């Protein structure tokens, strides 16, 4: 899967997490709210790792100078 696909996957996971958090807030289910927050955190961490990997790859290829 290309970087665009992974980026979209991370955004989708973050959106699902937000929905779960909101549903948990509305229904008063703290466990669902916590799961939603955790899922958002995982998505953000994956996206940060993807961006870091992309930056390192570009640097190694010499796209950003020496």
* pLDDT tens figures, 8-56: 999 999 999 999 999 999 999 999 999 999 999 999 999 999 999 999 9
pTM of the model: 0.82
Residue whose token pair is 């703290």: 30
The torsion angle over the Cα atoms of residues 21, 23, 27 and 33, rounded to 10 degrees, is -20
pLDDT at 66: 52
pLDDT at 1: 75
């Amino acid at each position: 899967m290309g970087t665009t696909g992974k980026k979209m996957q991370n955004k989708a996971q973050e959106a699902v997490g937000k929905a779960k958090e909101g549903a948990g807030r509305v229904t008063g289910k703290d466990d669902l709210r916590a799961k939603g927050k955790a899922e958002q955190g995982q998505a953000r961490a994956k996206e940060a790792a993807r961006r870091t990997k992309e930056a390192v790859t570009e640097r190694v290829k010499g796209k950003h100078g020496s």
